[in-house]
Structure 1
């Protein structure tokens, strides 16, 4: 696809862009290196600075659990659809079995009324068709029409048993997936409750300082930083997705939510691309592979920026070294520096 980026005669625009991205990533790495190596996520903080760090870690752990919850929830939804489909097929299969049995029963009744019942038909109505058909001598005692009906019945019964077995297996998987959903939900709730307790213990000034800590990318009057409108998206669909994400700025974070009035990180990017007519997976881990990987230095508006080694956070590149993302509970969808935390990959859907 042809690029819509403005041509540069000297290449300085790209150099400047790479510098902005690299500097932002380096500053984030330096900030993260200040976390004490031996600190546990829920150790009681000794002061306001360590309390803010503990809250950050708790939010990161809650986000990882949220993405696990999203994956389990998505799997439960898919398994529920598969179980419903198998049950529907089994019901149709049972109807076919009943119809064939009724046909054979009607034939037996007609023979009985005419003065006798073919022993072969009597066996069909009293024994398993599988066992009966395995007796080669039995096939010699019935006509071709009877044999075809028996074969159809045997095929229908085998298919019905297979569908019921498969449905039973899917139900076990569904039960396990629902247990995983409940487990991850409890983990998220526990982490967030601990974070809230730590935040509530801070003074109003410290809470305000935490809320402002990474809020960059917009001027006081709410406008974009210079350069946002000038950068071309990677494609028309990326431009449409970015436009949707921009409309979501200011809406609240809610874990497990995928719009249109609240979002978690992967829910925002999935919703934005869905608004552009592009289906991408639900979780940040899956979104990492939902397109072509590109170097950070070549990021274009609309690209997905995936964070941390476990790909537990995702945002959308908005240009000028900024991303739009849903950061954490209590914070609205917003712009932040692309290097706000370690970057795992950049994906172009």
Structure 2
């Protein structure tokens, strides 16, 4: 009997209590970090789904922080490239002028050499027209003076050219630094988004739909309410503090339903700061590229005095921004997979607001 018992399959124990919670935690960690447990759907429709939602929200928020840093680095890289191009053009122009000055100096030196092969006293003695000689000698003296001035001018041009080349070298180093930052932040954002996607892939189709819908309920509710009131866009424009703000609001309404596109500023897709920048650009106002720089554009506004067209910012790192449209609502580009939509500003931790001028 003992021998028979030794060949029996061990009984499988179900996970309950602390053991079950530990398994869920390990599954989440594995999904976020690319562990060996990837690919197995989570069976617990309650706590597991809630934890996945929390983790996905965190990853999307961190991806957006990296995206905004990427946008900032890209803006700086563009400016550094423009400055470098300008300096290179200036160096080329200065080099051309320097070469022309050198050629002119060479021609002057050649003329002097050809006329100065005989001792000046002997030339005067042998000259059949001493008055003419003296006049030419005076001209040569002045020519020598011009030569000295030309040499001094060339030296000045050389110093200026060296300075321009030094500045170009500094801009090139700056550009390379921004390009390195671009690569770093792009990788960080994509890594976070991929981790979120791996985590969602561990859910059943029903669980995944639940997670992605849960953070959209408030937005869908606001969107439905607004679409029921076709006068809402016009009302928001009328309540705007000025014509430019009204134009920005109109643009944002026109962007509703367009996809969130990583690093995009329109017209077919937007990220969060890309949408607000494009909205105010349509009103003739140039905003910085990132959420954490846009908050310093224009006048800071307390939450109690918000008006349509104001920029509203969220999270401690100022990593998200939307366009306020009144009644506690905003239009924003939420995250990958979620189109531009209306949402309550209470949906996220409020960090401040500003009113572009």
| TM bucket, shorter chain | 0.7 to 0.9
| 2:296 pairs with 1:289 | yes
Partner of 2:284: 277
| 2:78 pairs with 1:71 | no
Partner of 2:243: 236
Partner of 2:228: 223
The verdict on how the C-alpha distance between 1:224 and 1:79 changes in structure 2, with shifts beyond 3 A counting, is: farther
Q: Contact conserved, 1:259 with 1:267, CA < 8 A, in 2?
A: yes
Partner of 1:344: 351
Partner of 1:176: 177
After superposition, residues 315-330 of structure 1 pair within 5 angstroms as 315-330=322-337
- Structure 1 length normalisation: TM-score? 0.78
| Alpha-carbon distance in 2 for matches of 1:221, 1:343 | 22
Tell me how many residue pairs correspond in the alignment.
Answer: 291
Q: CA RMSD in A?
A: 2.6
Partner of 2:148: 147
- Structure 2 length normalisation: TM-score? 0.76
SS of residue paired to 1:318? strand
Q: Contact conserved, 2:295 with 2:353, CA < 8 A, in 1?
A: yes
SS of residue paired to 1:250? coil
Partner of 2:272: 265
After superposition, residues 124-143 of structure 1 pair within 5 angstroms as 143=144
SS of residue paired to 2:172? helix
Q: Contact conserved, 1:239 with 1:302, CA < 8 A, in 2?
A: yes
Shift of 1:203: 2.3
Shift of 1:211: 2.8
Shift of 1:228: 6.0
The verdict on how the C-alpha distance between 1:65 and 1:49 changes in structure 2, with shifts beyond 3 A counting, is: same
Q: Contact conserved, 2:287 with 2:297, CA < 8 A, in 1?
A: yes
> Which structure: larger Rg?
2
More contact order relative to length (CA 8 Å, sep ≥ 6): 1
Q: Contact conserved, 1:266 with 1:282, CA < 8 A, in 2?
A: yes
| Alpha-carbon distance in 1 for matches of 2:118, 2:192 | 74
| Alpha-carbon distance in 2 for matches of 1:257, 1:224 | 30
Shift of 1:143: 3.4
Q: Contact conserved, 2:311 with 2:355, CA < 8 A, in 1?
A: yes
Q: Contact conserved, 1:227 with 1:320, CA < 8 A, in 2?
A: no
Match of 2:341 among 334, 338, 349: 334
The verdict on how the C-alpha distance between 1:117 and 1:347 changes in structure 2, with shifts beyond 3 A counting, is: farther
My pick for the range that moved more, 172-181 or 109-118, is 109-118
Unaligned runs of 5+ in 1: 1-35, 119-139
